[in-house]
Amino acid sequence: MHRSLTALALAGLLAPVHALDQPEAATTRTEKQGQLAAPVKRFAVTAANPLAVDAGVDILKAGGSAVDAAVAVQAVLGLVEPQSSGIAGGAFLLHWDGREVQALDGRETAPAAATPGLFLKPDGKPMPIREAISSGLSTGTPGVLAMLAEAHLRHGKLPWARLFEPAIRLAEQGFAVSPRLNELLSGETALRNDPIAAAYFFDAAGAPLAVGTVLKNPAYAAVLRGIAANGVKAFYEGPVAVDIVRRVKAHARPGLLTTEDLAAYRPVVRAPLCNDWRAWRICGFGPPTSGHLTLMQILGLLDTQPAARAASAITADWMHAYAESAKLAFADRAQFIGDPAFVTAPGGDWQNLLSLAYLRQRGALIGPRASGIATAGNPAPVQQALAPQADQLESGTSHISIVDAQGHAVAMTTSVESAFGNRMMSDGGTGLAGGFVLNNQLTDFALNPVGADGKPVANRVEAGKRPRSSMAPTLVFDRKGQLLMAAGSPGGPVIIHYVAKVITGTLAWGLPVQQAVDLPNFGHFNSGSLIVENGALSAEQLADLRGRGHQVVETDLTSGLQVLLRVPGGWVGGADPRREGVVRGQ
């Protein structure tokens, strides 16, 4: 089966009860071979748009820290790549200061008035996912700005206001509409229903702005000037907050967000999860994101399979073992993982999901043929009275990797969830053209709060709760504690597979980082199909896998890996050819 992925197309390729989508459709591929192939010693930055990378380079050249550069990159991404992330979204940031890894959680939260039945219709059934996304109901309290302010307080070097200068300048002077932004706008329908978005992104005839059109955003510039001058209070209180809430409540399916929710938002500084894998130590985020736990389960389960551990390339044997490992990992993800303020880890410790004994027990379930739908394991003696969450649409996202002149690093994955969020914009109450996209992160919660057995789902909506994510910002170290890699990707739940691929390709198989990023994409979600990128496998490999009982679907898989890797002589990087990112350094 060979198809091209557009909105919800992938969902239709999976079993009827499993819905999966990517955050953004595929657009023109831009090859990146040779990009930052020669090591740089002073600093390096990679992100999903060249203008955003330029902003990071500007800050690093001025003596800024990795966190300073991340603030500048994010501010520009919200302007030039609004479909993926922005100031009204959320993010997870891993920081290395040369001594320890710190995890800063800027995930959105559910409004104080939210209940588990937020997305249920009067008949008690969940509303269709697209209705839930394109609504005020889906908008959570944004967290990225509050989190970045906390990170800057701890690790910043340059003045806060200096970090917004590149984005303000671009917003006022204008930037050229990129091919990817144009192509994604061409497929948009719901976005045209928002008056601000319709006037900003489309011409008078309703056509998306052409590639190269110089687009100015005076509303965004004005909002950023307020944040630069007065801190994030200018976003979470006052006219900007009032305008966000007004627009959320004015939708035909109004949301519950209030100005009190915005004023009360606080980021969370968490302990990272760090785990040994072969010769390396891999650090990531624990819940509310499932990224690191599920990624490390897959890598650990693969290592229980001798043929997979010995592999040095994608083969049918390796892909079979990967698919079966992913099924088991995603079964545990659906059963156990949610906001740790609301959901207790199995046995009280998330590391129980990664214990060697548990992984060996689970790995013993992998046989020579494709299994059916996997069920969650029992990683701790105490069983939880929870139901697994059914698959549903998950989206989002952009990734930033930065290493500064002091060797400090940031891996940050940032999102408004679906492409263009909830398809609404706010001008921050300025009355000027443009503005910023609002998030739809609450649809990362389970739309149905209970399972088929009537038990509650761990990732159900609750007031103040952070929805489960798949984001997987990752820092990798050698066993001496030297930082080797900063990595991450957008892609909804496929993020986990994208990051697993690049870690395997670079570290286990020894590929140059850009070649590892370029490797074909693939994944399994413990649902109907093993999905592989168009052209990823030979006809013989496809026949082999199907002969083992796998339903294999070829489709577009639009990763956005942004990776920095230490090599002798400095840092090199890889930027995903499936998006518009670049790597630059000095």
Distance CA 91, CA 106 (A): 5
pLDDT at residue number 37: 66
The domains of the chain are located at 44-270+399-585, 287-364
- The total number of residues shown for the chain amounts to 586
pLDDT at residue number 75: 98
294 is a catalytic site residue: no
Question: Which of 390, 443, 446, 435 shows the shortest CA–CA distance to 418?
Answer: 443
Q: Are 20 and 492 in contact (CB under 8 A)?
A: yes
pLDDT at residue number 15: 38
Active-site position among 27, 289, 397, 555 = 397
**Alpha carbon 334 to chain centroid, angstroms:** 17
Distance CA 282, CA 354 (A): 13
Distance CA 201, CA 206 (A): 9
* pTM for the whole structure: 0.94
Burial of 173 per CB tally in 10 Å (0-12, 13-18, 19+): exposed
pLDDT at residue number 1: 42
Say which CATH class 44-270+399-585 falls into.
Answer: alpha beta
pLDDT at residue number 22: 43
CATH of the structural domain 287-364, one choice from 1.10.246.130, 3.30.365.10, 3.40.720.10, 2.60.40.10: 1.10.246.130
Burial of 206 per CB tally in 10 Å (0-12, 13-18, 19+): exposed
Token pair belonging to 48 = 């999903």
Q: What is the pLDDT along the chain (586 residues), one digit of tens a residue?
A: 433 333 334 444 333 333 334 445 555 566 655 466 689 989 999 999 999 999 999 999 999 999 999 999 999 999 999 999 999 999 999 999 999 999 999 999 999 999 999 999 999 999 999 999 999 999 999 999 999 999 999 999 999 999 999 999 999 999 999 999 999 999 999 999 999 999 999 999 999 999 999 999 999 999 999 999 999 999 999 999 999 999 999 999 999 999 999 999 999 999 999 999 999 999 999 999 999 999 999 999 999 999 999 999 999 999 999 999 999 999 999 999 999 999 999 999 999 999 999 999 999 999 999 999 999 999 987 666 666 776 655 555 899 999 999 999 999 999 999 999 999 999 999 999 999 999 999 999 999 999 988 999 999 999 999 999 999 999 999 999 999 999 999 999 999 999 999 999 999 999 999 999 999 999 999 988 999 999 989 999 999 999 999 999 999 999 999 999 999 999 999 999 999 999 999 9
**Alpha carbon 300 to chain centroid, angstroms:** 22
pLDDT at residue number 24: 56
Q: Are 248 and 257 in contact (CB under 8 A)?
A: yes
pLDDT at residue number 32: 54
pLDDT at residue number 452: 86
